[in-house]
Structure 1
Amino acid sequence: MKNFLTVIILLLFALPLLAEDWLTIYNNDLSLVRSRFELELENGRQDINFSDITSRIDPSSVIVTGNGIRIAEQNFEYDLAGKWQIMAKYLDREVLIITKDQSRLTGILKFYSDNSIGIIEKGTERLLVISESETQWIQLAELPDNFYTKPTLHWSIIASKKAKYPVQMSYLTGGLSWDVTYNTVWDEKTLQFNSWVTINNTSGKAFNDVMLKLIAGDINRVYSGFYGKRGSLISYDASTAQESAAPSFEEKAFHDFHLYTLDQKVSFANNQTKQLELYPPKNIKAYAEYQYPTYAANVKSIIKFKNTTDNGAGMPLPKGIIKVYKQDSDGNLEFIGEDSINHTSRNEEVSINTGTAFDLIASTRLKEQTQISKYITERLIQITLRNNSNKNKTIKVTHQLSPNTRIVEADYKYTIDSNDKVTFSIDIAPDKEIVWTFRERSEY
């Protein structure tokens, strides 16, 4: 076949496996893989190629244990077989080149580039430079010893006797990720709350019938070396899966994070995206709110709820996207907005910004600024609010004070939280405009 190498693929050492796999996926492109299998070994020292690993493995994190065996040496082979890699490994060895005009040229390969091939012709010792585009195929005498079709761990193992040895291996890897999407339906009082985990596998390896765990939280890591993926190995005890009609996650606190364990085994093909339900559907009490931060361009439409058991929630929420739908009068659901949330523990407030309130208009104006003294300045800030809808609306106007600033006069009552954020709750009737002011004083 044109422009392809003619090679004989040798079978690598076959590993008889009775495999079990566990997979823990963290945030930020980190996963822990643990496998249990058997190796049939001879007595003494021997070489084993193990290729049932991901292409994003961190070789420095590999731990292999087994009674009666010892890993004397480990090499990670990631320079995978391909046309250019094979030819680079075949320098100073004999090759046979067939050109498009069926000429046969035999010699010692001296260089191989994108445009040309150089050989010392057998029998004449002449240097022949052959155009790569004129080459039909190249025949190699044999396959290079260090030929790998996929990422491989090459072990030099010492066994105490000829036998089958149970082996357990764990390593850290990139290429697996998970995130959460919360699909909700809003009826002005409650959110019908559904949560889905989306898992992406681009690790270069398929996982069949693995026990799956997800960890929500930000783990500290040190980035260095090849692949830039190093960190501390975290070991855990695997649990036994129980078959059920639909998979579900069991959640628990784990160190300073939250751990979600799937109650049955699951499979992931390489380059596959899989979705699993995180929590059973819930109805969560929530409320709507309009917010206008001073000097902002628009009024935000917000849905809020407290993440408590009394409100129908009360579960740790991993970071993700909350999508909000609402039922129209024709019975169809319409999408009304989405927002992202960070990891949210129980008893914390969740705020969902669904977008801009179309019929609510707001603006901020610095009406006057007065220098009271060398160290004291006052500013009169004017707020204009309009309600162009046909319903009464309440807009919460927020204003962030600096540490040396306070409100000295205001047309409406307000509250101040522990972060010095001032909130005015302003009621506006339909088709009305309210113009009002407050005065702040800064002392330096």
Structure 2
Amino acid sequence: MMRTIFQTTLVLNTYLRLLLIFGPNLIEFLMPLRLLCIIVTLFAPFAAQSQEAPIPPEARKVLELTIYESDLALVKDQRDFKLPTAQSTLAFLGVSGQIQPETVLFRLLGPEPFQVIEQVFDSNVLSPQSVLQRSVGRDVSVFTPNPATGKDTVERAKVLSVDQGLVLEIGGKIHTQVPGRIVFDTLPEGLRVSPTLLMTVKGPVAKDLRAELSYLTSGLSWRTNYVADFDADEKRLDLTGWATITNTTGVDFKDTKVKLISGDINRSAPSPQIKTMARRGGPEVAMAMAAPADGIQQQSLGSYHLYNIEKPLSLENNRTKQIALLGGKGVAVKQEYIVRGEPYFYQQQMPERPPVTQAESAITLKNDKAVGLGLPLPAGVVRVYGQDETGAPQFLGESALNHTAEGGDVRIVVGRDFDVTSEREQKNFVRAGERIVLTTWRVSLKNAKTKPVSVRVVEPFDGAWEITRETQAHDKANARMAEWTITVPAKGQADLEYTARIQN
């Protein structure tokens, strides 16, 4: 193109010189000159077209990621560059393949006058499939190995389609499977080695500049995974929280400063550890207060919590990395057992007894410093391990944990315990009105363990309710739920009987 412009300029200078020489014959040169003006006009836009300036990841000076739990991240990318012409197209190579282009924020870090005219996200990345797609209608070579000679047989073929599988025309016949490997004569135009953000800009020429490119992207997310080592005898556990970070953006982020945001964002369409001094069987236990892991700074950020990882991380594409986030040693807990009724139990005459059920086993604690925690706990999955009689660790179960603020209640459901069971019997059922029923139930709790256990009996009532008679006092958990806490002796049984008046 530059060569064409140079040639056009040379022709124009020649015509001007001829006009100076043949001044009296100006009319004869008028028509060719008009034609020349048309030619120059046609080539003028090419002369003004911006030149592309690649800015590779190697030009990056600062890279920072703020990663949210909801498949979202904020990328801040600072790079150095120079403009080859006053109007140039900056090609930011290696941006996220799942960038949200409408969120891009470009800032020049300097006082120089600068203007962004337009931007385009080019995701046409070089791959076998993209090369095939751009070769539709073109000829390629198919190399097929000859089993007898071991040499390749080369045939010319035309790529007809790649939409739902490759279709080739070879020797006038249609092939839907590749008989060999395909070799392309040239690389099709318009393909890039990595996702690229193109920005047409105006600014100073050949001057050292630095800009910060900020954008939101999918493909980066994190979640919390907890590992709890539970000591059933001491009623304590060691809790470790891991930040699990996953990158599926299509690019690598190397030597990156990472911040993690915990909390549910709205989108439109602590003290050092103290050494544990526990003695098995002894009454005195020194607890290590929960604290962020080494190299992690935790702080509140509006309605969210931010975890700043001080050490730079490298997050490779299609890989998951785990970082120690927080931990607590010797956290005091309670173990409880729960049996639950079903709402339909209390609305009808039961034709037969409900089946015997095993009690739900759970570990409960208060998230405060008194028990050894006292940190905001991001939502995640808690996996609980215990020790058998030989001291070997065994997996006990796992449970989901919601976002829990300091001072909140934590309840980890481990599973069901077949040593603690419940058996129900409906003793009476009376329909006292069109919408009022009276029902009497006996709940028999059995404990096959060698130690007493505390069992919560939870009864959900569908409507306004009142306990008119009971063998033990209840607690009103909420408007539709009554609870009893009953101690069941070792190798023994305890019974609860109550009458409920329910209006719905």
TM range (shorter): 0.7 to 0.9
TM-score (norm 1): 0.81
- Residues 129 and 399 (structure 1 numbering): CA distance in 2 closer, same or farther, change over 3 Å? same
Q: CA offset at residue 392 of structure 1?
A: 2.0
- Residues 328 and 30 (structure 1 numbering): CA distance in 2 closer, same or farther, change over 3 Å? same
The equivalent residue for 2:102 is 60
Q: CA offset at residue 34 of structure 1?
A: 0.7
**1:249 maps to 2:296:** yes
Opposite residue 285 of structure 1, the aligned amino acid is A
Where does 1:40-439 land on structure 2 (aligned, <5 Å)?
Answer: 40-66=82-108, 67=110, 68-90=113-135, 95=139, 97=141, 111-113=160-162, 114=165, 116-117=167-168, 131=175, 133=178, 137-140=182-185, 142-187=186-231, 188-223=234-269, 247-295=294-342, 297-439=357-499
The equivalent residue for 1:226 is none
Bigger shift: residues 431-440 or 33-42: 431-440
- Residues 130 and 302 (structure 1 numbering): CA distance in 2 closer, same or farther, change over 3 Å? closer
TM-score (norm 2): 0.72
Q: CA offset at residue 170 of structure 1?
A: 1.0
How far apart are the structure 1 equivalents of 2:423 and 2:254? 58
> How much identity, in percent, do the aligned residues show?
26
Opposite residue 59 of structure 1, the aligned amino acid is P
User: SS in structure 2 opposite 1:86?
Assistant: helix
The equivalent residue for 2:67 is 25
- Residues 359 and 159 (structure 1 numbering): CA distance in 2 closer, same or farther, change over 3 Å? same
Q: CA offset at residue 92 of structure 1?
A: 6.4
- Residues 203 and 297 (structure 1 numbering): CA distance in 2 closer, same or farther, change over 3 Å? farther
Q: CA offset at residue 36 of structure 1?
A: 0.8
Does the Cα contact within 8 Å between 1:72 and 1:158 map onto a contact in 2? yes
Structure 2, unmatched stretches of 5+, are: 1-51, 145-151, 270-292, 343-355
Opposite residue 253 of structure 1, the aligned amino acid is S
How far apart are the structure 2 equivalents of 1:64 and 1:417? 54
Opposite residue 86 of structure 1, the aligned amino acid is V
- Residues 134 and 441 (structure 1 numbering): CA distance in 2 closer, same or farther, change over 3 Å? closer
Bigger shift: residues 170-179 or 277-286: 277-286
Bigger shift: residues 169-178 or 331-340: 331-340
How far apart are the structure 1 equivalents of 2:79 and 2:212? 7
The equivalent residue for 2:38 is none
How far apart are the structure 2 equivalents of 1:40 and 1:48? 9
**1:37 maps to 2:79:** yes
Does the Cα contact within 8 Å between 1:376 and 1:443 map onto a contact in 2? yes
Does the Cα contact within 8 Å between 1:405 and 1:442 map onto a contact in 2? yes
How far apart are the structure 1 equivalents of 2:266 and 2:462? 33
CA deviation profile, 1:103-138 (whole Å, cap 9, x unmatched):
7769xx78445454469xxxxxxx956647467645
User: SS in structure 1 opposite 2:221?
Assistant: strand
User: SS in structure 2 opposite 1:417?
Assistant: strand
Does the Cα contact within 8 Å between 2:328 and 2:373 map onto a contact in 1? no
Opposite residue 430 of structure 1, the aligned amino acid is A
Structure 1, unmatched stretches of 5+, are: 1-10, 120-126, 224-245
Opposite residue 38 of structure 1, the aligned amino acid is D
Q: CA offset at residue 25 of structure 1?
A: 0.8
CA deviation profile, 1:133-181 (whole Å, cap 9, x unmatched):
46764543x5433122332212222223321210101111122221222
What is the count of residue pairs matched by the alignment? 401
Q: CA offset at residue 306 of structure 1?
A: 0.5
How far apart are the structure 1 equivalents of 2:414 and 2:74? 36
Greater RCO, CA 8 A, separation 6+: 1
- Residues 34 and 390 (structure 1 numbering): CA distance in 2 closer, same or farther, change over 3 Å? same
User: SS in structure 2 opposite 1:215?
Assistant: strand
How far apart are the structure 2 equivalents of 1:200 and 1:115? 33
Opposite residue 78 of structure 2, the aligned amino acid is R
How far apart are the structure 1 equivalents of 2:455 and 2:207? 76
- Residues 317 and 83 (structure 1 numbering): CA distance in 2 closer, same or farther, change over 3 Å? closer
Opposite residue 146 of structure 1, the aligned amino acid is G
- Residues 382 and 281 (structure 1 numbering): CA distance in 2 closer, same or farther, change over 3 Å? closer
CA deviation profile, 1:280-310 (whole Å, cap 9, x unmatched):
4432221111111124932012211111122
| Rg (Cα) greater in structure | 2
Q: CA offset at residue 73 of structure 1?
A: 1.7
- Residues 350 and 13 (structure 1 numbering): CA distance in 2 closer, same or farther, change over 3 Å? same
Q: Point out the structure with the larger helix share.
A: 2
Q: CA offset at residue 400 of structure 1?
A: 2.1
Bigger shift: residues 159-168 or 131-140: 131-140
The equivalent residue for 1:13 is 54
- Residues 76 and 406 (structure 1 numbering): CA distance in 2 closer, same or farther, change over 3 Å? same
- Residues 367 and 150 (structure 1 numbering): CA distance in 2 closer, same or farther, change over 3 Å? farther
User: SS in structure 1 opposite 2:131?
Assistant: helix
The equivalent residue for 2:35 is none
Q: CA offset at residue 405 of structure 1?
A: 1.5
Opposite residue 77 of structure 1, the aligned amino acid is D
